[in-house]
Structure 1
């Protein structure tokens, strides 16, 4: 029988997702993908229905395409990890000015249903290819669990031990770590019965223990203690335990916290490491799932919104005064104008990957009318529905083409293959002092200050 990852895709099916899924307990997977693009992609797909967070070590990372360049005739190579509709990759965005950027050796994916926890990549704290911190903001955590739940993903190179050295160097600036997992490439009898004790003061084991002590976390044994986590390709070589989990005392004492090493070799998907599945009780109650209000781009509502704002601002400009009191009054009126227009033309929408931006009220009415009159089996109503959709698409794309070619003067935007392969915005926004904006109030204050900053003197002549 062929035991390749490709042959096993249809053998193992992921568990069915519960409906609705509880967010009081998180399922986290820590896994070394052996730099394989295929292994990373398969795990993302198979785990999309039941895993909340995947902490990859040595994930798949390669050039995905070339993009136009003013210096290179062949174009710049855009590199990155695999993308999946269900996951957000928490890594710095590709920067085509950094031609020598090395591939990331840690990468944390967070399932999109955890957006309610507002996850952030803490690149303001650490920017290193072998370690990353992601923060979850828990509205109502369990007793002992902090509101800011920090997860540390580590790949420690077996030769240089660069990750441990870097983390020890910046220990004083690191936040309170609740959970740490990864491939540490350190063997010791503490977690591997077949290894020898490293008692030297400068040994990798002792340095790791000092790091754990500084971070106030401790190593946690799996449920199936003694199970190897790395299975070498050479049958004569010894299987070892080098993939570890450490946690804070508060998390370890939580009822229900545990992890196990998945021993089914089919679930390794070609890697020489076994996945670690961690169960983390995190929230005291189900977080409130609120739909965000938005105005669709290129829609009639957007035109009406802009028109109302411009009209009200235009009337305010006619009565501008230089006194501080009247200026403050006008700023209050500006805020009220934006709020009133937003409430009038925005609506609550639940994002869906199946949604179409060109779908409008006419499409909705035609769909409802078709449903009330026999559905798709009614040929007359079905033809009417198709005609309505065709008109909606045409109007939407004609307007988009006109905007790009005439207003913005950027016809190249019509050709997506010429643009950068942008990653989702997952890094924390920093204020003027370099602190992370972790709350909505702090974010609003920071962005408002940026808007109020004076323009450079060079703009005065424009």
Structure 2
């Protein structure tokens, strides 16, 4: 699994899809571009029609929750690409469990009924996704992976008692059978353009 905040960079998404199929089976994206991706000939007008959505690729199965047009600003903040060699595992976006623009629950199924549940999360500066997890934890099945951009959160694994949003996230992870997985190269995952601002850890994996 590769987890990446692409900051609405369509070119970066295309590069990841082209380059990652040899090493990764699942690509979890945060902050994808949702807008005009190309124009196509129109069947009703001399002008061309705009295709609105996100990038698709012939080697990947594309999964994204469509925006709620009755709620402006609720374009999808997460999406998933599953390599087509996993088609036999019937990859499914589980909107029956979580139907929320800031997270995507992906299930893969083996013969015999065993499932693998993977959660992609984007939490905005109001911590809405973390609060959603805290309020709806009873609705989630056990997970084998959760990762994403949990900005802004004060996460320090050296602290024995985490507070605030970090504590909520840790409690949710425990409730679905997960625990924090430290990276092989510890350190900040976000470096602000303004050198006066402090680098921080936004990207977490459980």
TM-score, length-normalised on structure 2? 0.84
- C-alpha distance after superposition, 1:108-132 (max 9, x if no partner): 1101111121110101111111111
C-alpha deviation, 1:176, in angstroms: 1.4
Pair 1:208 & 2:180 matched: no
- Once residues 155 and 137 of structure 2 are traced to their aligned partners in structure 1, the CA distance between those partners, rounded to angstroms, is 23
1:172 aligns with 2:144: no
Separation in 2 of the partners of 1:127 and 1:216?
21
Pick from 190, 200, 203 the counterpart of residue 230 of structure 1: 190
Structure 1 residue 231, shift from structure 2 partner = 2.1
- In the TM superposition, structure 1's runs of 4+ consecutive aligned residues that sit over 4 Å from their partners are 65-68, 74-78, 97-101, 196-200
1:36 has 2:9 as partner = yes
Structure with bigger gyration radius: 1
Inter-partner Cα distance in structure 2 for 1:208 and 1:94: 25
CA contact (8 A) 1:80 1:94 kept: no
Shift of 1:106: 0.8
Q: How many residues in Structure 1 have an aligned counterpart in Structure 2?
A: 202
The residue aligned with 1:79 is 52
SS at structure 2 position matched to 1:235: coil
Q: CA deviation at 1:100?
A: 4.2
- The residue number in structure 1 matching 2:62 is 89
Distance 2:161 2:142 in 1: 27
Preserved contact between residue 37 and residue 61 of structure 1 (Cα < 8 Å): no
Structure that is richer in helix per residue: 1
Task: Give the alignment's Cα RMSD to 1 decimal.
Answer: 3.0
Q: Paired residue for 2:120?
A: 153
Structure 2 residue 111 is matched with structure 1 residue 111 = no
CA distance in structure 2 between the aligned counterparts of 1:221 and 1:50, rounded to whole angstroms: 21
Higher strand share: 2
2:103–2:121 CA contact under 8 A, matched in 1? yes
Q: Kindly state the Cα deviation for residue 101 of structure 1 after the two structures are TM-superposed.
A: 6.7
Q: 1:300-319 residue pairs with structure 2 within 5 A?
A: none
Contact 2:67 2:101 in 1 (8 A): no
CA contact (8 A) 1:79 1:94 kept: no
Aligned equivalents of 2:154, 2:63: Cα separation in 1: 29
Residue 45 of structure 1 and its aligned partner are, at CA, apart by 1.1
Unmatched segments (≥5 aa) in structure 1: 1-27, 141-145, 247-462
The 1:170/1:93 distance shift into structure 2, 3 A limit, reads: same
Deviation at 1:219, TM superposition (A): 0.6
Correspondence for 1:134 among 84, 106, 110? 106
User: How far apart are residue 189 of structure 1 and its match?
Assistant: 2.0
**Residue in 1 that maps onto 2:34:** 61
Q: Does the 8 Å CA contact 1:62/1:79 hold for their aligned counterparts? A: yes
Residue 127 of structure 1 aligns to a residue whose secondary structure is coil
